[in-house]
Amino acid sequence: MKIPTYKKILDYWFFKNGKINKINSITKKYITKSSIDYGEPTCWACGEHWNGKYDISGEYNKKDIYKAWQSSPLERCHIIPDSLGGLNVPSNIFLMCKDCHVESPDTIYSGIFFSWLDNKKTILDIRYKMIIETFNGLGIDISKKHIYESINSVFKTKKTRKNFYCFLEKNTSSHFGVISPFTIIGALQLYINKPS
């Protein structure tokens, strides 16, 4: 038996009840953590969505959904590997990015796969942690209300953002063309504290 098509996999995980907006109960438990939209092909484990590169723009129907997911880099991954007797049926196939495919456990017990999934950090979790760590690395505690509010005011409108980007350009430099996150946050700290 061949690996199921993307259409069959999506039908099983998304449209089992025949209704477009109803995710079946298994999907609800394991997939909605990354709040997946049918029109946005997304890794079911980490939430990678390639900055919307494969998203459908505007209105769409089921056919467009199949097409978008199939043409994304998402891989069809066995929950129980076929080499260990896992079947080529949609219920044993999960759509994931390459990194998650490589990382996911390959055992004869599907429960191990699902506990990995339950504890898997999403891309947003990881990015959020990185941002907080960058602020902490410069001794900025953004849990303090006045600090949080002054940072917020920098990004509030197009004009305030533009002012900050001009400041960034004048006052920072890059290593080999890459602006480090600490450079940006450091500039932000200078900018907020500069005498106006």
Choice between 99 and 133, CB closer to Zn ion: 99
Query: Any idea how long the chain is?
Result: 196
Amino acid identity, residue 163?
N
Stretch in the footprint of Zn ion (CB under 5 A) among 5-13, 23-31, 99-107, 126-134: 99-107
3-state SS assignment for residue 76: strand
Q: Quick one: CA dihedral 17, 26, 106, 34, positive or negative?
A: positive
- DSSP designation for 78: E
Q: Work out whether 79 is an interface residue with Zn ion (CB under 5 A).
A: no
Q: Which residue has the tokens 């004869």?
A: 108
Give min distance, CB of 65 to Zn ion, in A: 19
- Identify which of residues 43 and 79 has a Cβ nearer to Zn ion in the complex: 43
43 touches Zn ion (CB under 5 A):
yes
How many residues lie near Zn ion (CB under 5 A)? 6
Q: Is 74 in the site for Zn ion (CB under 5 A)?
A: no
Considering only 9, 31, 45, 117, the residue that binds Zn ion (CB under 5 A) is 45
Structure tokens at 99: 């990194």
Tokens matching residue 174:
């890059």
Taking CB under 5 A as the binding criterion, the range among 2-10, 46-54, 127-135, 175-183 that sits at the site for Zn ion is 46-54
Q: Does residue number 40 form part of the binding site for Zn ion (CB under 5 A)?
A: no
Of residues 100-119, which lie at the interface with Zn ion (CB under 5 A)? Answer: 100
Continuous H helices in 22-180 = 25-30, 62-71, 98-103, 110-119, 123-137, 145-154, 158-171
- Using rule CB under 5 A, residue 140 touches Zn ion: no
48 lies in the site for Zn ion, by CB under 5 A = yes
SS3 of 20, please? coil
**Which residues of the chain form contacts with Zn ion (CB under 5 A)?**
43, 45-46, 48, 97, 100
